[in-house]
Amino acid sequence: MGHLSGTRLLRLVRPTCARLAVVGLAVACVLGTPAQAQNDKMTPIPIPAQPNAIELGTGVLPNAPNPESWHSQYGSVFARNVTVATLTPFLPDPAKATGAAVIVAPGGGFRTLSMENEGWDTARALQAQGVAAFVLKYRLNQTPADMPGFERSMHEMFSGIARAPRPSPEQAIAGLAPQIADSRAAFALVRKRAAEWRVDPDRIGMVGFSAGAMLTMATTLAGQDAKPAFIGIIYGSLAPVTPPADAPPLFVALAADDPFFANSGFGLIDSWRTAKRPVEFHLYEQGGHGFGMYPKKTTSTGWFDAFSRWIGMHGMLSPRAR
């Protein structure tokens, strides 16, 4: 998940993070590297040009008066107040295309989206492997339009979240109806244009970070028509679930010092194992929350190489035999 606050919120959030044990609710925490901490000031920026972004047709989020806005922080860019969902393709060289595809869901506590670190950078890395990647900019809960108001709202969220009850997976799914609709529409669009984009409709997976991991799991559990071929849960909740009978292969990466999800057991892993479905789990000694594609000195930086090897083991890095 992308880091959410400026210098003032950094001071406010760190003590709260140490007390949190949140399962089923993905929120952001400022846990950057020292180099990132030197560049933690949140700076508003113009909405970047996104010429390849395709509107998903799920409508405008109701009761959302504040316009979409973007800011830079930690050398990366973030979006918030997203009211119209889009999908941005990152297509590999046709000569390298394997036919596999991945929907990429950035994190940000459903209040912001780490579009660069957890979105575009991840998509480019997949693209380089011959995998078609599609960054999902899903609709978000509203935040104040001004930066000071945004910081105050995040402080209030962190102050209250430690006391909040943990929602069940079913409750979480019910609360993510707009985002699940966006995710389903992303899968539908990729399948509709599969021939044009050189994608095998049966080999479309999904990877999500923190809140995006929660959306990835909700999309899988909700059933219906998305049916990802494989899923990646990157520093997301490990709460136990009831997997569908045909649950896809699951890849999980988490740091042991993650303040949100590292101290609540490994129920998700056990759920997949009990259901006798494929699962791979990487628990890194250090990395905190939100490491994504940021270069860090911790071994958590190797999660993408591990994920790449894992999808390769499942045949996603070579063309499907005809």
pLDDT tens digits, one per residue of 253-311: 999 999 999 998 999 999 999 999 999 999 999 999 999 999 999 999 999 999 999 99
Residue with the bigger pLDDT between 242 and 35: it is 242
CATH for the 7-313 domain, from 3.10.129.10, 3.30.390.50, 3.40.50.1820, 3.40.50.2020 = 3.40.50.1820
170 falls in which pLDDT band (50, 70, 90)?
confident
User: What is the per-residue pLDDT for 191?
Assistant: 98
pTM over the 0.85 mark: yes
Residue 39 confidence (pLDDT): 61
Beta partners for 60?
84
pLDDT value at residue 155: 77
Please write the tens of the pLDDT for every residue from 36-87.
444 678 899 999 999 999 999 999 999 899 999 999 988 899 999 999 999 9
Please give the pLDDT value at position 29. 38
- Residue-level pLDDT at 310: 98
Amino acid (1-letter code) at residue 243: P
Give the start-to-end residue ranges of the domains of the chain.
7-313
Please tell me the predicted confidence (pLDDT) of residue 11: 29
Confidence band, pLDDT 50/70/90 cuts, at residue 13:
very low
Cβ-contact 266, 296 below 8 angstroms: no
Residue 9 has pLDDT above 90, yes or no: no
Cα dist. 168→4, 136, 311 in Å?
25, 25, 29
Q: Which residues of 49-80 are buried (b: 16+ CB within 10 A; e: fewer)?
A: eeeebeebebeebeebeeeebbbebbebbbbb
- State the CB neighbour count (10 A cutoff) for residue 309: 12
Give the pairing of strands 204-209 and 76-80: unpaired
